[in-house]
Structure 1
Amino acid sequence: MRRTSARFTLAGATAASAVALAVIGATTASGSTTGEQDTTAALAAAPIGFGAATTGGAGGSTVTVTTASAFISAVQSSTTQTVRVNGTISLSSMTKVASNKTIVGVGTAGKITGYGLNVASVSNVIIQNLTFTGSADDAINVQYSTNVFIDHNDISNAYDGAVDIKRSSTNITVSWNRTHNQDKNMLLGHSDDNASEDTGKLKVTYAFNWFDGTTQRNPRVRFGNPVHVLNNYFSNVSSYGVASTENAGVLVEGNYFENTDDPFHLGEGDSDAGSLVAKNNYFVNSGSGQTGGSVASIPYSYSAQSASGVKATVTAGAGVGKI
């Protein structure tokens, strides 16, 4: 039960290396073609950690959308595609995303409101450089999906979760996002009775995110082992940071905790304790956390930043317009 209470490199990928997506003859929202190189081509930071194999829409066509109808058509297309969001897209329901998609905001203009994105029973999806606000459900929901990269977004005021990952999803990276004005932030594993689907899955890397006053679930983990919470900045988190439950194994490494009384603990609500190992974290006006048990080895090579420098790195680099 719960208690009361500069960039880095992974094997084969650089977390903040800006890789231009060259867009020649980009298709507009109306279906016309520009016929010229798009000088505002989106930049993509390479996926890291468990989601490092994700390529999204690379190698496919590129479309720029400015309306909800064009957005829905593009993200649900069966083709490999990069969907560039230029403006505010107001959704009237959770919107399904098809496989082999990159959904990326143009500059700081790309915004999703009303509802969020449903990444369900698909693979190879990148969601990047978008502002999500005011969803009447989740901002991003991932279930029965693999190879997902959620990166450099700004997420706030979702009625339910900011980023919820569940139902045997695995090989996912959540990096360089800023979440704020959010109660239930990031859930990993939706229920205590789903061990049959989730055991051996739910392998997620959370790296260089800014949990900015988010109340709880940063993340709250069931079953996933290992889950890597690496070099994130937790500021003014009022309830708790990380919770490990239901046979999960979470490595909390190199994070900067500031004004966070309960940075991490075992168990939560009615969920039994999992395992949690804490390594090389930095605490400012914060509790020391609760650990216990052992965690499976992280299966990829990486180099962690010293935790004392994480606040500066993350506040400078997390969110939209930073890639």
Structure 2
Amino acid sequence: MRRTSARFTLAGTAAASAVALAVIGATTASGSTAAQSEPAVAAAAAPIGFGAGTTGGAGGSTVTVTNAAAFKTAVQSSSAQIVRVNGTIALTSMTKVASNKTIVGVGTAGRITGSGLNVASVNNVIIQNLTFSGSNDDAINVQYSTKVWIDHNDISGANDGAVDIKRASTNITVSWNRTHDQDKNMLLGHSDSNSSEDSGKLKVTYDHNWFDGTNQRNPRVRFGNPVHVLNNYFSDIGSYGVASTENAGVLVEGNYFENTEDTYHLGEGDSDAGSLVARNNHLVNSSAGQTGGSVASIPYSYTAQSASGVKATVTAGAGVGKI
């Protein structure tokens, strides 16, 4: 048991679609632009995997924000809303996001710095096409939430995790993100003692992400079964790639590992081993990792890309400005 401290297009992926039409309206002194009758932002081609069916703010109004005050008002609204971020939003603390929201960057201009987003006790949230940097906590924290899609973001320099998912959250897709300059990358399940809340939950699909020099937790999984790590590109990983612990079941499928000494293993730190099945991965200057146990069947239809082409696909398509 390992203990440490430390665009081929799938049917329905966001790569098939584009960010939509600009909002037409006058910018107010508060830093927001109210939508009139213009089409909503098409952040759309639905996610594959466990987050399928997430619609965010579709059907609601559209608002463009340019400063932190307007941003907080928009993302905390009780109504369904599409929030377009145009410029840098400087946050000082984790900012709560309400249900039925799409938060999407405009082109490559949408940036969140200083702190991150707290998706807590809500459902139906899309976070897309944003650059997150220098959070004093997590870049994105998800807890007690369902139907969340985190897609096509660039995340770096968070003091804690890039994307942490925990506390009974489930039915989530994390896709086409580039994470870099990050130690603790993606945690799934925060505590070995949280089985009562997490067993049967924490079902997440990670597809077509670029884990670019991230040190650990790509992801680190507790309890979730199945968790699907599909068609991601792992490059120059420091400590380890994927860890399955505490009764988790992780399918590591069709990924491209490059310069990754420890690709995947069972157990981590003080956490006991989970189960991990590896299938059809491509290894370049990387060694096959540790597998064991069985993983529940993936309950949705999908088409895996051949792993040998994943590097080219992901480096061309992951991150901001690629939808």
Give me the TM-score of the superposition, normalised by structure 2.
0.94
Aligned to 2:284: 284
Where does residue 71 of structure 1 map in the other structure? 71
CA 1:32–1:145 in 2, change beyond 3 Å: closer, same or farther?
closer
Counterparts of 1:54-69 in structure 2, within 5 Å, are: 54-69=54-69
Q: Is 1:8 the counterpart of 2:4 in the alignment?
A: no
C-alpha change, 1:26 and 1:249, in structure 2 (3 Å) is farther
| Matched residue SS, 2:92 | coil
Equivalent runs, 1:22-101 vs 2, <5 Å: 28=27, 30=30, 33=34, 37=38, 41=41, 43-101=43-101
Superposed displacement of residue 17, structure 1: 1.9
* Aligned-residue offset at 1:46: 2.2
Deviations 1:132-154 (A, max 9, x none): 00000000000000000000000
User: Secondary structure, in 3 states, of the residue corresponding to 2:182?
Assistant: coil
Against the structure 1 CA distance between its residues 91 and 280, is the aligned structure 2 distance closer, same or farther, given a 3 Å change threshold? same
Aligned equivalents of 2:134, 2:186: Cα separation in 1 = 16
Residue correspondence of structure 1 range 108-147 to structure 2 within 5 A: 108-147=108-147
- Counterparts of 2:20 and 2:50, CA distance in 1: 22
- C-alpha displacement of 1:20: 5.3
Q: Is the 8 A contact 1:213 1:237 kept in 2?
A: yes
Q: Pick closer, same or farther for the CA change 1:121–1:27 going to 2, 3 Å.
A: farther
**1:180-200 C-alpha deviation (Å, 9 max, x unpaired):** 000000000000000000000
Q: Specify the code of the residue in structure 2 equivalent to 1:18.
A: S
SS of the residue 2:54 aligns to: coil
Q: 1:87 aligns to what SS in structure 2?
A: strand
Q: Deviations over 1:73-121 (max 9, x none)?
A: 0000000000000000000110000000000000000000000000000
Listed one character per residue, the Cα deviations across residues 36-90 of structure 1 (whole Å, up to 9, x for unaligned) are 858x955434211100110000010000000100000000000000000000000
Alignment map for 1:251-290 (pairs within 5 Å)? 251-290=251-290
Between the aligned partners of 1:112 and 1:3, the Cα distance in structure 2 is 34
Rounded Cα–Cα distance in structure 1 between residues aligned with 2:27 and 2:207: 33
Structure 2 counterpart SS, 1:142:
strand
Contact 2:43 2:128 survives alignment (8 Å): no
Task: State the distance in 1 between where 2:322 and 2:18 align.
Answer: 13
Shift of 1:219: 0.1
Instruction: Report the AA paired with residue 246 of structure 2.
Output: E
Is the partner of 1:44 in helix, strand or coil? coil
- Summarize the Cα distance change of 1:32–1:265 in structure 2 as closer, same or farther, 3 Å threshold: closer
Partner of 1:194: 194
Q: What percent of counterpart residues are identical?
A: 79
- Map 1:115-264 onto structure 2 (within 5 A): 115-264=115-264
SS of corresponding position for 1:269 = coil
User: SS at the partner of 2:311?
Assistant: helix
Q: CA RMSD in A?
A: 1.9
What SS does the corresponding residue of 2:107 show, helix, strand or coil? coil
* Change in CA separation of 1:260 and 1:36 when aligned onto 2, cut-off 3 Å: same
Aligned length, in residue pairs? 320
Spell out, residue by residue over 1:182-228, the C-alpha distance to the aligned partner (whole angstroms, 9 max, x if none): 00000000000000000000000000000000000000000000000
Equivalent residue of 2:109, what SS? coil
Residues 42, 107 of structure 1: 8 Å contact kept: no
**How much has 1:32 moved relative to structure 2?**
5.5
Gaps of at least 5 residues in structure 2 are: none
SS at match of 1:173: strand
Contact 2:92 2:115 in 1 (8 A): yes
Residue 103 in structure 1 maps to residue 103 in structure 2 = yes
Shift in CA distance, 240/27, structure 1 to aligned 2, threshold 3 Å: farther
In the other structure, the counterpart of 1:18 is: 17
Q: Distance in 2 between matches of 1:259 and 1:288?
A: 12
